[in-house]
Structure 1
Amino acid sequence: MKDINDFLLNISELEHRQRVEELVDWTIKTYPQFSVVIKWNQPMFTDHGTFIIAYSTSKKHISIAPETVTILAFKDDIEKSGYQHTDNLFKITWDQPIDYSLLKKIIDYNIQEKINYTKFWRE
């Protein structure tokens, strides 16, 4: 998998692909400064070379991975939006709406927290 289009084309169910395309388009339009890299078969959005957020899919949901620190910071908001989460990601089932205002808060938090960060991941 070499780019975002390959990632999207690998989503076989059309409705699911369209939802992920909408999510990716929103991210690119909202954060035009981001670069997109494919690692571990998923798109990862970076700002000045540091990881900000990644999206992946499964049969039952879209996974949003903003790093553990960010999940902890937004745990209550994630739960209020009705999403399940682990330490590393939260899940949006295919029939749940995407809470873009929450997503924006999470991404803005990571941008601000990592503004002077030079490594890809937090340590």
Structure 2
Amino acid sequence: METFEEFLANIEKTSHRERLEEIFNWLDHKYPQLEKAIKWNQPMYTDHGTFIIAFSVAKKHMSVAPEAVTIKHLEEDIKKAGYDYTKQIIRIPWKSDLNYSLLEKMIEFNIEDKAEHTSFWRN
């Protein structure tokens, strides 16, 4: 969690900070091979130097950014979960439960799909 300490410390609302800590702890336990970094003021996870997933904070929601390809690939699952989304982000209201199964699908897809990638973003 050390990499994300400053980011988390700057989240004013305690419940929002605790929720992200819970998510990051889950990610660290489930995917210990992923590297953590802060880039563009966002906590993100990478694998062998390639982007896997990032998070950001807004007043009414957190945003999950797995890349457009992943959102398109899992669009039906995102709709079923009831989340609002764009081409690049999924908005999860603070009051909504986090669908960990969906988060796992996003991460697994990116790890597998980008296994041979050598660049940070998909081309």
What corresponds to 1:99 in structure 2? Answer: 99
Structure 2, unaligned stretches of length 5 or more? none
What corresponds to 2:38 in structure 1? Answer: 38
Worse-superposed segment, 2-11 or 35-44: 2-11
TM-score by length of 1: 0.97
Aligned-pair CA distance for 1:3: 3.4
After the TM superposition, list the runs of 4 or more consecutive aligned residues in structure 1 that deviate by more than 3 angstroms.
none
CA distance in 2, matches of 1:20, 1:46: 17
What corresponds to 1:80 in structure 2? Answer: 80
Aligned-pair CA distance for 1:107: 0.4
Aligned-pair CA distance for 1:82: 0.8
> How many matched pairs?
122
Give the letter for the 2:70 counterpart: T
CA distance in 1, matches of 2:55, 2:72: 18
RMSD, aligned α-carbons = 1.0
SS for the counterpart of 1:63 is strand
SS for the counterpart of 1:107 is helix
What corresponds to 2:54 in structure 1? Answer: 54
CA offsets 1:67-110 (integer angstroms, 9 cap, x no match): 00000001110010010000001011000000001100110000
CA distance in 2, matches of 1:7, 1:79: 29
CA distance in 2, matches of 1:88, 1:12: 25
SS for the counterpart of 1:102 is helix
Give the letter for the 2:51 counterpart: F
Give the letter for the 2:110 counterpart: N
CA distance in 2, matches of 1:100, 1:10: 24
Give the letter for the 1:67 counterpart: E
Pairing 1:89–2:86 present: no
